[in-house]
Structure 1
Amino acid sequence: MSAVWRASYAAVRRRRLQTFVIGLVVLCSTTTTLLGLGLLTAASAPFDEAFSRHRGAHAVASFDTAKASPEQLADTARRPGVVAAAGPFGQTVLEMPEDWLWMSAGSLSVVGRADPAGPVDRIRLLEGRWATAPGEIVVNWPVDGTPGPDRLGTRLTARGAPTLTVVGFATSTSKSAGAWVSPEQMDRLAPTTAQMLYRFTDAATEQELRTGLTAATAELPAGSLTTAQSHLTLKRAFSAQADAYLPFMTLFGVLGLLVSVLIVGNVVSSAVVSGHRHVGVLKSLGYTPNQVVAVYLAMVSFPAVIGCAIGTLVGNAAAGPILKAAFSGIETGSASIGIGWWPSAVCLVGMPAMVAVAALIPASRAHRLPAAQALTAGSAPRAGRGLRLQRRLGRSRLARPVSLGLGQPTARPGRSLLTMAAIVLGVATVTLTTGLTSTMVAYGDMRTSEGATRIDIQADTSALRQDAAQPGDGQTERRLLSLPGADRVTARALTKVHLAGYTQTVFADFYRGDTRDLAAEIVKGHWPADVGEAAAGPAFLAQHGLSVGDRVTIRLNGRQAPLTIVGELMEGNAKALAADWQSLTRLDPTVRATEYTVRLAPGADARHYIESVEAADPALRPALGHSDSPATTAVVGFASVFTVLLTSAAALGVFNTVLLTVRERRRDLGMLKSIGMTPRQVMVMTVSSVAALGAIGGLVGIPLGIAAHRLVVDHVGVITFPESMKQVWHLPQLAALVLAGVTIAVLGALAPARSAARLPVSEALHNE
């Protein structure tokens, strides 16, 4: 075995460039694969782990206490299929009149629990202590971190309820409540509903959950069950944004693997072909055929292991910011977002194994090659290969260096096909990225309203309440519109409402004024323009099982209003819906606008307008608006990084091919230079040998990239693109993409071509 290692080590030292190419390609592929696997596991594993650790509820159910007694509810815990249950807990909804603890005004679901422990939904206390006496409340803090201990002691005042002091912050994996109080405090709030938390024997699908909940509540009076929240809905909400990035992350990972297989196979095949004499020498020295194969496998495994190890480190380092972008704005609760250990293990084991398998087929040629033939054959192509095409090209009007170069790929057809396949994947990657960027740019242009400057103005609602002399919303809108430079004004009121049939509260945006910009974001249906109409983004509709035409009921301040979903937005908060202001006046006419959006006329001075707003009303806080979408930034950023990685890998494959060709043709190059070929003509010939492969690769790679683009944009779950934003391909752009294949080929061939041009004639012919 030591002889195999010595020969392998000598081959690695002799073929430093090939070793470097293999290591770099494996590094790039490992990085892309690790990021794809990391996002895949982060989209589900953290939720599952946290749900299991904290005994999350498969179903959070609310019951009407006027129809079902506490004793009847407690008996449901002993029904068939129920593994564990907690409750009944008193439950009510408090109406918060203003923003509190950085949270929006509106409905707050409160549950009375004696302690955070229990057989189901164990609450994780983040800060402070549990509420044990009347007048105390523990607030659910669903995002990462806590607001800090200095926020303990904050006093919350709800409509028609006593003042409550915040004594702790906690989080629930089951999202069972927005806050918790002691049972004694809940009794004083006079709840009309009770909460039960269930874990079932079978709860992997919605059908199994419905079956389990039906069996548990079968003996209760009809109509006593008012709402039921599934843990599967929470899981979908947890991974919705990350899932939107999975299609193209997976696609880039697959492309990276294919490029690695092609280039490694090409490198090893070329090493065997160009090293016939080396194979013969090894066999003549007593190496068995299996040992010769082992030499070549060890030769590629050494850089593969190093490249894989470095790629794993790079992938883990890059995973932090990528996961942060993928889970930005998501209520992670007690789930710890991380890449996990198994993607790294899969890459560390799988990538070297893949390289070894890719090398095994060409290395088997060395196994079959007789020693005598290997010593006498040399490394030149077989006589006559490609001569017919060479003669035809020679009779053409092409310059002789170009005709000689275009005929070279036919001398090594297998090597040329592998090289062209790598270029095809590189062009497909560039095409995919170009399409994604064009789609996202079109989406961003739509959001900027034809380039008009946007001013976002926050209203200080607390100041407005303290000063009755402050103008009403209508007066504020007219004042903002009257200031120099204003073109359109839209008012928005944000509040939390209860959605009938769901335990969690949702955000409701109510709009008034000029909503043309908002209406332009509708991809299905129309913008809500009348009382009882609403619109929502694809994530909200998917997580709540809704579509355009469905009806929902929202509750606020003890009142309720039916809403019909009349439009689907291109993009929207997964926990928010939009409605017309008239719907808000039916629920709470006292709610005031929290934000105004002003579109300035073309050429208006944004800085001057902001100063005018500040001078006109101190309760308004204007700022220059930004239309950047996190999804846009993330998709374009990820795609650009992976494009650089994969096109670099494809160019390295071309580099390796041309380098081997130059080494094999040293004698031919010397003879051509001896009869008058200039260094510049040598470069032209060498570059021409792969330029044709690049052009063909461009023509083949473009349709593959277009198909991949359509696959990705149709599955970005956080955005629904209209057809106009998917049709981004135009003739000049396609022509440029064909040139991308040529560019990849030329860039890869440039360095070996310069080396060939500088080759001294005497050195090339010293053995003749």
Structure 2
Amino acid sequence: MTALKGREPTSDVRLPPGGRDRPRRRSTRPTTRRGPLAGVAVGGAAGRRWAQSDLRTHRGEALFLVLATAGIVASLLLATALFGYATNPWQRIFTQARGAHVWIHTVPFADTRKLARLDGVESVAGPYRTESATVAVRGSRASVELRGVSRPPSVGRPLLTAGHWPDAAEPDGVVLESSLARALLAEPGDTLTLPGTARSLTVEGIADSAEPRYSPGEQPGLVWARPSAVRAPGGQVIGLRLGDPGDTDYAVQRAVTVLGAGAVGEVSTWQQARAAAQGDNRLLGQVLGLFGLGALIAAGFAVHGAIATRIRGHLRDLSVLKAIGFTPGQVVRVFLLQHLAYALLGSVAAAVLTEALGSRIPGRLGDAVGVWQGLPGHTLALLAVPVGAVLFIGLTTGLAAWRAGRVPPVPVPRPAAPAGGGLTGLARRALGLRLPAALVLGCHKACAGRGRSLATVARLTLPLLLIVVALSAWTTIDRFHSSPERVGMPTALTVRSDGALDASAVRALLLDDHRVTGAYPGVEVAALVPGQTGTIALRGVGTRTEPYPYTLAEGRTARGPDEAVAGQGLLDLLHARVGDWVRMTVGDRPQILHIVGRSIEPQNAGRVVTTSLDTLRQNDPGLSPAFYELRLRPGAEPQRVAAALASAGRGHLDVHPVDNPADGLSPLRGVVAGLIAVLALIGLVELLTAIGGSVREGERDLLALKAIGMSPRQITAITVTATSCTALAAALAGTALGLPLARRLIDAQGSSSGIGAGVAQSPSPALLLALGAAAVLGAAALAALPAARAARRRLADTLSAVT
């Protein structure tokens, strides 16, 4: 167009003889109308044809981009669903039940009526008399807290999901908290027995509660009963609903001061209940969100690289588009709209599939999607997440397409020399050593054009890095199952006695089973932290002659008197570290301990300090074991050993396996597998882009290679070697960067959850080697066919490509 603008149109006007003017004859050639929308019309039609032609040429790449976008958006939507599922159900129950922000367990004689007059206390629930007991139904047993409540309270009200509240005509009727009912498989109408007594209770209803849920061996189940059913009260409990939930710590401190530290047994707050209710769902949401965002960034870079490579390979075509009337903005819009269409198609497909089939996913993910679909912000999130993904991909596409708009309308001749320059000294020496020329030239080609090669390696490294992180998460979960003793669970069973057998008889009974290699007596009490703003678990397990096998991440084991090890959650709560002395209060007695080590503690959010039973007996010589932690021989099945011990105890022993926190993370394996598939698709798109660019860059060297006598097979090997070297460099970089990043991320998550750093496990060298080999061999296989086609091109086609 630039060359044509300076020429004037010719005219068919001729003067007749005699000089008289004759009418001008109209030209039969078509005239071009130059209206303001003429270029747009031409550009729109030609742009559609260009987009259609490009789609036919790159069908596989377009399909992979659509599938990768769909996987990314689906993972982000599932992460949003898990976050909503983790927070909103508990919040809904807490709001509907007018839950108490603080629950305080006290001794029976404490005057709890004073708490209603504290500043900031809006209303109270109770006080209610409580009794610790063990209930059994159909062979299942659980430790419970019987709470004497005559009628549903206005604060902390149980929300009935089945049955009804017992009336005066049903003195032994009770209502079970829903998590306890699920553990016992109990329904309204079932009869609960209290082992060791002649008493029985009838289940009249099941209710949801915003208080901490039942956890075997850690948190007793909650049972609401008539006051007459609480026959041996061991304490009382009162709930405080505050005007400002942010003043919870201050309210607890004031309450303990008013009642006296000796009168307070245990304190639980709404933050602890919410964290326990969220459980592993929030972690699953964080993992999905982290990998979804990482995959989205990787996909954006892959699209950017694909467009940049395509622009370098179609400079002449872009110049032709400019010459026929395309403006720079129209050229940019061709690329932008094309890839936005891919992103939009993938995002819409992900949103539709998640909405239609998400609730049918088995397990926790399906439950999360089902609950999320009924939440108020569901529609907004369903629109915002796909729109955000499309906009991000559009941004990266626009940055790359902007370069296409800058292509001049007159093609610029390609430089005579390749972008990487001549052979390096290393390459010439390698050829002098008679190494295969295809191998040497392929490695040289991968390293030539350093900026472009580094950008390709960086784009391919990102998905491989995320795959290494995902494999590390998978390996860490497997470690919890295969080697629980290395992640804070050296024992497999916890045994509690009903008191009918003395301590020596219980220990002898336990060690009589040949599958039990160690029985560590222990006791756990609630202790007030300094400042009296909450309670922690003070645990005395093992003796100095037979110490408990801690799993230490820092420091050493507790060997001497007053020495203890603590979990990460306790150290964070007390702002302490290994080597400090900490003071806590157990009842009305102070306990001062020297923290000599940090243990990996998966229970009670890490707010546990553990010492020997002998140390606790120094303050209370009459302290007897409340439970036994059992260590089993390798290969012994905890369920079978538990059944055998319960049978040997003739109903006097309550045996249950130690909870493994990885049990709640089982859905994470399927999530990790899906994310690896999405990241593999993104890596595949980047490989296809790199292969296409390498083939096009090699076209101008084709004549020279054939001139020196290289066969098509050797020329093909050059491109395959160059692509394989690029994949190998990306695999090495992804592994080198992914392993420390994965350890940091997993340890950071462990520290935030209270378990503590030191649980991260790297994938095995064989698995990492398999990942690298798959990347290199896959790259070589993908490059073989297009490289072979290019190597067999006719010389005339090659001449037209390089001119």
Verify same fold: TM over 0.5. yes
Please identify, of 754-763 and 267-276, the stretch whose mean Cα deviation from structure 2 is larger. 754-763
Code of the residue aligned with 2:632 in structure 1: it is V
Name which of 88, 95, 103 aligns with 2:132: 95
Counterpart in the other structure of 2:726: 693
Q: CA deviation at 1:108?
A: 1.2
Code of the residue aligned with 1:366 in structure 2: it is A
Q: CA deviation at 1:357?
A: 0.7
Counterpart in the other structure of 1:180: 224
Counterpart in the other structure of 1:302: 341
Name which of 111, 118, 123 aligns with 1:85: 123
Q: CA deviation at 1:606?
A: 12
* Residues 423, 744 of structure 1: 8 Å contact kept: no
Q: Sequence identity, in percent?
A: 19
Give the 5 Å matches for 1:567-582: 568-574=598-604
**Given the alignment of the two structures, is residue 199 of structure 1 paired with residue 242 of structure 2, yes or no?**
yes
Counterpart in the other structure of 1:258: 297
Counterpart in the other structure of 1:429: 466
Give the 5 Å matches for 1:370-519: 370-373=408-411, 383-389=417-423, 393=427, 396-397=430-431, 398-409=435-446, 415-432=452-469, 447=484, 472-481=505-514, 488-490=517-519, 519=549
Mark the CA change 1:30 to 1:189 in structure 2 (over 3 Å): closer, same or farther: same
Stretches of structure 1 lacking an aligned partner (at least 5 in a row): none
SS in 1 for 2:224: strand
Q: Name which structure has the greater RCO, CA cutoff 8 Å, separation 6+.
A: 1
TM-score for the superposition, normalised by structure 2: 0.71
Q: C-alpha distance in 1, partners of 2:640/2:225?
A: 49
Mark the CA change 1:421 to 1:341 in structure 2 (over 3 Å): closer, same or farther: farther
**Given the alignment of the two structures, is residue 229 of structure 1 paired with residue 260 of structure 2, yes or no?**
no
Mark the CA change 1:425 to 1:61 in structure 2 (over 3 Å): closer, same or farther: same
Per-residue deviation, residues 660-715 of structure 1 (Å, max 9, x unmatched):
43256457547745875334323320122233434443554444224313312322
Q: C-alpha distance in 1, partners of 2:273/2:483?
A: 32
Give the 5 Å matches for 1:25-104: 25-61=68-104, 68=111, 70=113, 74-75=116-117, 81=120, 84-87=122-125, 89-97=126-134, 99=136
Stretches of structure 2 lacking an aligned partner (at least 5 in a row): 1-40, 214-220
User: Between Structure 1 and Structure 2, whose CA radius of gyration is higher?
Assistant: 2
SS in 1 for 2:203: strand
**Given the alignment of the two structures, is residue 125 of structure 1 paired with residue 174 of structure 2, yes or no?**
no
Q: CA deviation at 1:455?
A: 11
* Residues 464, 679 of structure 2: 8 Å contact kept: no
Give the 5 Å matches for 1:136-215: 136-142=173-179, 150-155=187-192, 157=194, 164-175=201-212, 178-182=222-226, 185=228, 193=236, 195-200=238-243, 202-203=244-245, 205=246, 208-211=247-250
Q: C-alpha distance in 2, partners of 1:159/1:615?
A: 15
Q: C-alpha distance in 1, partners of 2:366/2:743?
A: 21
* Residues 670, 762 of structure 1: 8 Å contact kept: no
Structure 1 vs Structure 2 CA RMSD? 5.8
Q: CA deviation at 1:738?
A: 8.8
Please identify, of 282-291 and 306-315, the stretch whose mean Cα deviation from structure 2 is larger. 306-315
Mark the CA change 1:599 to 1:586 in structure 2 (over 3 Å): closer, same or farther: farther
* Residues 570, 721 of structure 1: 8 Å contact kept: yes
Q: CA deviation at 1:296?
A: 0.8
* Residues 39, 242 of structure 1: 8 Å contact kept: yes
Counterpart in the other structure of 2:717: 684
Code of the residue aligned with 1:755 in structure 2: it is P
Give the 5 Å matches for 1:552-701: 568-574=598-604, 596-599=630-633, 629-630=662-663, 639=672, 641-663=674-696, 665-666=698-699, 668-669=701-702, 672=705, 676-698=709-731, 700-701=733-734
Name which of 402, 411, 423 aligns with 1:364: 402
SS in 2 for 1:178: strand
Per-residue deviation, residues 20-48 of structure 1 (Å, max 9, x unmatched):
23223333443454455555555444444
* Residues 520, 630 of structure 2: 8 Å contact kept: yes
Q: C-alpha distance in 1, partners of 2:80/2:395?
A: 21
Per-residue deviation, residues 733-757 of structure 1 (Å, max 9, x unmatched):
59x9699667525523422322322
SS in 2 for 1:60: strand
* Residues 564, 594 of structure 2: 8 Å contact kept: yes
Per-residue deviation, residues 601-636 of structure 1 (Å, max 9, x unmatched):
x9x999999999999898899999999953786777
* Residues 552, 562 of structure 1: 8 Å contact kept: yes
Per-residue deviation, residues 305-353 of structure 1 (Å, max 9, x unmatched):
223344556778789879839999xxxx999999966654343111111
Per-residue deviation, residues 277-300 of structure 1 (Å, max 9, x unmatched):
332343344333222211111111
Name which of 269, 278, 281 aligns with 2:308: 269
Q: C-alpha distance in 1, partners of 2:111/2:393?
A: 65
Please identify, of 613-622 and 49-58, the stretch whose mean Cα deviation from structure 2 is larger. 613-622
Give the total of aligned pairs. 725
* Residues 79, 286 of structure 2: 8 Å contact kept: no
Per-residue deviation, residues 33-87 of structure 1 (Å, max 9, x unmatched):
44555555554444444434443333335678866475x55555xx5x55x4244
Q: C-alpha distance in 1, partners of 2:185/2:380?
A: 34
SS in 2 for 1:369: coil
Q: CA deviation at 1:303?
A: 1.7
